[in-house]
Structure 1
Amino acid sequence: MAQEPVNPGEVVLGEEIKHARLITLNRPRQLNVISSKVVYLLSQFLEKWEKDDDAKLVIFKGAGRAFCAGGDLRMFYEGRSDDSCLEVVYRMYWLCYHIHTYKKTMVALVHGIVMGGGGAMVVPLKFSVVTEKTVFAVPEASIGLHTDCSFSYILSRLPGYLGEYLALTGARLNGKEMVATGLATHFVPSEKLQELEKRLLSLDSGDENKVRSVIEEFSAAVQPDEESVLNKLSTINKCFCGDSVEEIIKSFESEAGIEGNAWIAAVLKGLKRSSPTGLKITLRSIREGRKQTLAECLKKEFRLTMNLLRSVISGDVYEGIRALSIDKDNAPKWNPSTLEEVTSDNVDLVFQPFSAELELKIPAEESCRWDGKYENSVYPNLQGKN
């Protein structure tokens, strides 16, 4: 059994139970969204435990009805004028690298919503357990952002053009679909999740075969439902291989009239309501991600996020957050308002490399694996100077 958390009011709880380590994202009323404090504490725990020979197994879970709904949109909106979100952005991308390359066995127990950056704490792990109540999506493009937190790397490696589809449409996948696509490793009915957690904690081992064996005692083989988007991959591949967002939408429209494709209409409606800038940047990022390493993807995504939050070519991200989370009118006024107005030159601007000191610092050598922290970068001195 897990011991009582030392500080139940903290946004991230870290418990040490024999050789197991348990991380609980603990902002249930906010669906465990990611803030600067959340990312800072996660980094602290993970670095400490990776260096601790007594720590063998790390388990992630979320309190309440969500695992993690991604970044704290209100935090970004409130920091729009003074670069106050520099810290969470830098820390999150730096942390993503360490989660992908972590040296200890990690398990995510994913109950409920997992979106955007929340997925970066799930998909890269050796073991990610989902349930019938799990809902996954990467909806950033729809609000003028881009598919971030290593997802240009992850999605570009899915079969065919499914990654482009998920990134551009923000389509949701359930737990069965996550397992089928490889975005999760095991499906466990929700009523068994708590017992699985107890078993993993009592296992007292990080041996991958032993961990897998325990999870498989609780897991069930699953197939996507008949109406699943995964059974429509031939259409998705045909349309989302297009060289531009305009081509993709045109191709998708032509497929919508074919018998059996009634599902396309709602997806098209969502696509057309999304930020034109967000869509174009997202497509290019995913396409580049197909040929990039994890480190290259993270450095690129960091630049994109910084440039979009600084409204280098558009303020759409703040308009999208306003419409979704602040005024909640769901009527964003994009600028530019059409795909045709988003020029290649403007898109090029947000992809340009930063000067060396402003780039995300990802350790090149294992011996300095935890170097490059935010506090040791130039960014703390830049807050409020934009």
Structure 2
Amino acid sequence: MAQQVVNPDEQVVLGEEIDHVRLITLNRPRQLNVISSTVVSLLAEYLEKWEKDDKAELVIIKGAGRAFSAGGDLKMFYDGRNTKDSCLEVVYRMYWLCYHIHTYKKTQVALVHGISMGGGASLMVPMKFSVVTEKTVFATPEASIGFHSDCGFSYMHSHLPGGLGEFLALTGARLNGKELVVAGLATHFVPSEKLPELEKRLISLNSGNKNAVKSAIEEFSVEVQLDEDSVLNKKSIIDECFSKDTVEEIIKSFEAEASKEGNGWIGAVLKGLKRSSPAGLKITLRSIREGRKQTLAESLKKEFRLTMNILRTTISEDVYEGIRALTIDKDNAPKWSPPSLDKVDDEKVDLVFQPFKEDLELQIAEKEENRWHGKYETTSYATSALTAKAK
């Protein structure tokens, strides 16, 4: 019998313990399972508890409704725009959690049905097994709203072949389930009608043995073949254009390719690229490029700095303007500042990448025995917040 271990007053994440299997359900279907501060805290609580529980062997994560997760709660960021560091705690906790998801000690399976974007995709891609369907839609569109590829994606995208990572990060291009498997961002493709049956099969397996789990998934998975018009069939163009040194050179190269016969697909992508936040594009490209030379921990620490500096409007207020245009007023007419790539101050870009003082960095334990140390509540940020409240 499944044992419910969720706080009855907070149902945004459901956690079930079924003998040796643990099942997480992201449970905000009407909000497309966006990630709030409560979601982050509950995920961390479950995952730490279950990693330390010898009885827990297999962790499955899925989303309720028609989405896996649409990513971070943008309204939360927007609503906190006038309060200094209002979202610092949730940002810290999320990036700290991302490290532990990547390095988790138990076998994990993500069952990804529907939208999986941004931070939501960070709950899918790092898993030992990530199962997608014909209804899965993946994207990392953060640069378009003045943000950057975060939640570990400056690391994950930078390790994709050729210029694919830069392409996905800068354009926010969407990939379907088949494309995710071919790109190496998912492990298996299972037709959506078989997903509930696969879930039951995994639960009945009652084991975290990787070979057994893989075999069980392969009972339901099918070989994938890219559609003829898949963007992944344009790899030579993507590699050529998105290997350029700067955003300006990437766009110029992409424009040149767009004029050639058979490259009609580039027009819409180019239009979206040119409508994106200039500052967001420059920060994102640099972050992806740095990710190639960084460890996962270094990438997440960098992303924490970038996010906090962007939210603090160190370079511009584009992130709030981007969220306003996309989700608040929904006019899709953002007014970027600076308004063009040539107006983006390189020195200001340097500023958002500057390391913080050591005690203000994202704290990721270097020693394995301390891997769950570094929680927000043990940081200088939490201490400062408590001191401020006491005054």
Fold-level match, TM-score > 0.5?
A: yes
Post-superposition offset of 1:309:
0.5
Find the aligned partners of 1:4 and 1:28 in 2 and give their Cα distance.
19
Q: How does 1:4-83 map to 2 (within 5 A)?
A: 7=8, 10-82=11-83, 83=85
Tell me how far 1:81 sits from its aligned partner: 1.8
The percent of aligned pairs where both chains have the same amino acid is: 74
1:117 alignment partner, SS class:
helix
Residue 290 of structure 1 aligns to which amino acid in structure 2?
Answer: R
- Pairwise CA RMSD of aligned residues? 1.3
- Rounded to whole Å, the distance in 2 between the matches of 1:42 and 1:204 is 21
Q: Which has the higher contact order (CA 8 A, sep 6+)?
A: 1
User: Matched residues in 1 for 2:384 and 2:285: separation?
Assistant: 30
Q: 2:5, 2:17 within 8 Å by CA — same for their partners in 1? A: no
Q: In the alignment, does 2:336 pair up with 1:334?
A: yes
Runs of 4+ in structure 1 over 2 Å off: 1-9, 380-385
Structure 1 residue aligned with 2:290: 288
Describe how 1:95-134 pairs up with structure 2 within 5 A. Answer: 95-134=97-136
Question: For residue 256 of structure 2, what is the aligned residue in structure 1?
Answer: 254
2:92 equivalent in structure 1: 90
Give 1:147's aligned residue. Answer: 149
Aligned 8 A contact 2:26 2:69 in 1: yes
Q: Deviations over 1:311-360 (max 9, x none)?
A: 01100000000000100000000000000011211110000000011100
Q: Is the 8 A contact 2:4 2:17 kept in 1?
A: no
Indicate conservation of the 8 Å contact 2:20/2:55, yes or no: yes
Rounded Cα–Cα distance in structure 2 between residues aligned with 1:269 and 1:107: 36
Which stretches in structure 1 are left out of the alignment for 5+ residues? none
Shift of 1:380: 2.5
- Cα offset, 1:2, TM superposition: 5.2
Quick check: 2:13–2:24 contact (8 Å CA) kept in 1? yes
Match of 1:361 among 352, 360, 363: 363
Matches within 5 A, 1:238-249: 238-249=240-251
For the residues of structure 2 that align with 1:94 and 1:335, how far apart are their CA atoms? 31
Task: Give the Cα–Cα distance (whole angstroms) in 2 for the partners of residues 232 and 212 of structure 1.
Answer: 31
| Amino acid paired to 1:20 | V
Distance 1:186 1:8, change over 3 A: farther
SS at match of 1:218: coil
- Is 1:378–2:380 an aligned residue pair? yes
CA contact (8 A) 2:4 2:15 kept: no
Cα deviation, 1:245-302, whole Å, max 9, x if unaligned, reads: 0000000001101000000000010000000000000000000001110011000000
> In the alignment, does 2:184 pair up with 1:182?
yes
1:136 alignment partner in structure 2: 138
- Structure 2 gap ranges (5+): none
> In 2, distance between residues paired with 1:3 and 1:30?
26
Aligned partner of 1:280: which letter? K
Shift of 1:5: 7.4
Give the distance between the partners of 1:69 and 1:218, measured in 2 at CA: 26
Q: Report the Cα offset of residue 382 of structure 1.
A: 4.7
Q: Deviations over 1:20-78 (max 9, x none)?
A: 00000000011000111000000000000000000000000000000000000000001
Aligned length: 385
Q: What is the rounded CA distance, in whole Å, between the counterparts of 1:4 and 1:312 in structure 2?
A: 44
Distance in 2 between the 1:306 and 1:62 partners? 28
